[in-house]
Structure 1
Amino acid sequence: MSRVRRVLLGGAAAVALITAGTTATASAATGVPSGPPPAENGWDVWCVSVTGAKACFASYGDRVWVKDTKTNGHSVAATIKSDPSHSHWGRECLNTRGADGGWVMCNFDVPEFQPGKLWVIDQPWIGDAAYTAISTGNTA
């Protein structure tokens, strides 16, 4: 094998090894109708609100709830993301049922014992948003 080919193949292998394990893990789901989330306690259940939407996260089971709270024709979403963002995971739960549709819930699997943020968004990607700090490691 020529020296040039060995250098190119070695360089490609090095890039593959360096980037292995650094890919972002993100997913989105449309929530299923659900009852309300457990009561917020700031230890293993957190909630956040913005005009038009409310979201909650329970670390036990990695469950996210989101509710549309304003009849305005917008969908709403809850997003949980790693914080700091260098660990690169995130999940989004969508509620397209409208204000009369009640709570929806998404059951995710996220890395344990990590700090993160719970975001709530009225009109995903362009609307009002707010967040609160969470932890994925606390259990009930």
Structure 2
Amino acid sequence: MNRLVRVLIGIPVAATLIAAGTASVASATNGVPSGPPPSGDNVWCVSVTGAKACFAAYGDRVWVKDTKANGHPVAATIQDQESSGSWYRECFNDRGEAGGWVMCDFDVPEFNAGLLWAVDEPWIGAQASTKINTTGWI
């Protein structure tokens, strides 16, 4: 096989291997209707006008509820607290105030400090955050 052919074949193969080795660190989904989040240790909640969000470290679950009939969707976001921002997950609720809680079941890195955000009208609306731990005490 001549050298040019080997190079032309090798570049796409290398690019494919690099892309396959790059893990997706972001995930966004619409939540499924559920009851309210649990209470107790390793459960954090935060509220902002129009939205309430909770995170339970056991099971990596996120809940979000629309708390104001204003026509805006709401979201709960969990993310790495480090400046590198190596991971985040987002759970959307577009069911309105009468739609109650929705829940998203994520997989997040263990033993990480992070942030939980409650957001009314994602990307442009009001938001608030609180610190969380993904598992155990940090």
TM-score (norm 1): 0.77
Asked if structure 1 preserves the Cα contact closer than 8 Å seen for 2:28 and 2:92, the reply is no
How many residue pairs match? The answer is 135
Q: Residues 55-110 of structure 1, C-alpha deviation per residue, up to 9 Å, x if partnerless?
A: 110110111111222221212111223344553x4332222232233322222233
Asked if structure 2 preserves the Cα contact closer than 8 Å seen for 1:91 and 1:108, the reply is yes
**Cα distance between partner residues in 2 of 1:86 and 1:33:** 29
TM-score (norm 2): 0.78
Structure 1 vs Structure 2 CA RMSD: 2.5
Q: Residues 104-124 of structure 1, C-alpha deviation per residue, up to 9 Å, x if partnerless?
A: 222223332333322211012
What stretches of structure 1 of length at least 5 have no aligned partner? none
Please name the residue that 1:17 is paired with: 17
Please name the residue that 1:62 is paired with: 60
**Cα pair distance change 1:115/1:21, threshold 3 Å:** farther
**Cα distance between partner residues in 2 of 1:92 and 1:7:** 41
**Cα pair distance change 1:135/1:21, threshold 3 Å:** farther
Please name the residue that 2:117 is paired with: 119
Please name the residue that 1:45 is paired with: 43
Give 1:73-92 correspondences, 5 Å limit.
Answer: 73-84=71-82, 85=84, 87=86, 89-92=87-90
Q: Which segments of structure 1 move beyond 4 Å, counting only runs of 4 or more?
A: none
**Cα distance between partner residues in 1 of 2:56 and 2:63:** 9
Identical aligned residues as a percent:
59
What stretches of structure 2 of length at least 5 have no aligned partner? none
SS in 1 for 2:44: strand
